[in-house]
Amino acid sequence: MKMSFRWYGESDPVTLQYIRQIPGMTDIVSAIYDEPVGEVWPAHRIAALKSTIEAAGLRFEVVESVPVHEDIKLGKPSRDRLIANYQQTIRNLAAAGIKVICYNFMPVFDWTRTELSKTLEDGSTCLAFSTKEIDEIDPNNGIALPGWDSSYKPEQLKALLAEYREVDEARLWQHLEYFLKAIIPVAEECGMKMAIHPDDPPRPIFGLPRIVKNRDDLARIVGIVDSPANGLTLCSGSLGAGPQNNVEALVREFGGMGRIHFAHIRNVKITPEGDFEESAHLSSCGSLDIAAIVKAYHDTGFTGYFRPDHGRMIWGETGKPGYGLYDRALGAVYINGLWEAMDKLS
């Protein structure tokens, strides 16, 4: 596996120099975060980002993410122009040496948490999700959730949710198929691997359709365009938040097919009610057996990119919740240790 770390650019308090000091770290996962959604990423901006990362002694081969415009998900007439822009961004990234693009097809927002800093028994804090709190929210009266609600003004959000009333799961599947049939041939031509991220969490939210939430959804997606370029970002935390999902089995199935291009590895502690909190990576700290999941990657000969996903905020660190240096660094070393042990004991 190629070990990577997400970096949010020059404004990120976690510097490239710190990231490079993590044992075994080779790659950075990043993006151009201030380019308007739907516009072509300029080649010179991609080159500048790559140059900054490489100057720190790290590689830049995975982008997370190139956002998919809501008009594409809604199937609006403007989607053809926006898809053409997306195709050109794929070409520009491929020309710069990018190998994998992570993206998602979640309507309106790309993740949901009800708490950004839940305090755990040991004094660390984590991202958490309460089913009860979500289900008690009436979208018609406004939505106030941490992390994403500031992305839209209240009237914008209300209008967008109204548009999605006409889009059920069947129609969203049609729109995803239209998108994939347009971009995967371009990815094939460029040698790019597209890696769709699952819904987070893998359940309907506010009546919006969710179509990347379980094994059958993943199988349907890779079958829409049966190409190695059409693959997955298999996120153990996102899928693992759904008790119906056996993440180890998913890794063995889709990893065995060569369709996992990017692995997000993190742990969650879930309850029967569907609540969850993000925990330390160590298997005993959450509901997922991370050792078994890593072994599944090892057994299937995974050679792609992985990153330790969200971590707790520990040792007094402040900054973007879930994206501190310390706990993600611990997760990276833990995963790397598991992998080395499997190499030497196999």
Residue 298 a catalytic site member: no
Per-residue pLDDT of the chain (346 residues; tens, 9 = 90+): 999 999 999 999 999 999 999 999 999 999 999 999 999 999 999 999 999 999 999 999 999 999 999 999 999 999 999 999 999 999 999 999 999 999 999 999 888 999 999 999 999 999 999 999 998 888 777 777 776 555 677 788 888 999 999 999 999 999 999 999 999 999 999 999 999 999 999 998 888 999 999 999 999 999 999 999 999 999 999 999 999 999 999 999 999 999 999 999 999 999 988 899 999 999 999 999 999 999 999 999 999 999 999 999 999 999 999 999 999 999 999 999 999 999 999 8
Give the residue extent of every domain in the chain.
2-345
Cα torsion angle, 202, 208, 212, 217, sign: positive
Q: Which of 69, 264, 281, 298 is catalytic?
A: 264
> At which residue do the structure tokens 């742990």 appear?
267
Taking residue 300's Cβ as centre, other Cβ atoms within 10 Å add up to: 17
Q: Which of 102, 126, 175, 197 is catalytic?
A: 197
Q: Which of 69, 175, 261, 310 is catalytic?
A: 310
Backbone phi and psi for residue 68, each to the nearest 5 degrees, phi listed first: -95, 125
Residue 154: which residues within 8 A CB-CB, separation 6 or more?
142
Residue 44 a catalytic site member: no
DSSP sequence for 44-61:
HHHHHHHHHHHHTT-EEE
Query: What was the pLDDT predicted at 147?
Result: 63
Cα torsion angle, 240, 244, 249, 253, sign: negative
Residue 332: which residues within 8 A CB-CB, separation 6 or more?
3, 5, 22, 24, 25, 307, 308
Q: Are 194 and 231 in contact (CB under 8 A)?
A: yes
Residue 264 a catalytic site member: yes
Residue 197 a catalytic site member: yes
Give the domain 2-345 fold. Answer: TIM Barrel (3.20.20)
Question: Is the peptide bond prior to 284 cis by the omega test (within 30 degrees of 0)?
Answer: no
Q: Which of 175, 309, 327, 334 is catalytic?
A: 309
Q: Which of 103, 297, 323, 334 is catalytic?
A: 323
* 257 vs 274: CA distance, rounded Å: 30
Query: What was the pLDDT predicted at 314?
Result: 97
Residue 86 a catalytic site member: no
Residue 323 a catalytic site member: yes
Name the token pair of 323: 């994206």
Question: What's the count of helices (H) and strands (E) in the chain, helices before strands?
Answer: 12, 12
Closest to 22 (Cα-Cα) out of 311, 303, 326? 326
Q: Which of 235, 281, 305, 327 is catalytic?
A: 235
Closest to 240 (Cα-Cα) out of 230, 232, 231, 251? 251
Question: Is the peptide bond prior to 201 cis by the omega test (within 30 degrees of 0)?
Answer: yes
* 171 vs 71: CA distance, rounded Å: 13
Taking residue 343's Cβ as centre, other Cβ atoms within 10 Å add up to: 9
Alpha-helical (H) ranges within 57-191 are 70-74, 79-95, 131-135, 154-164, 169-190
* 179 vs 165: CA distance, rounded Å: 20
Alpha-helical (H) ranges within 165-214 are 169-190
Length of the chain: 346
* 259 vs 234: CA distance, rounded Å: 9
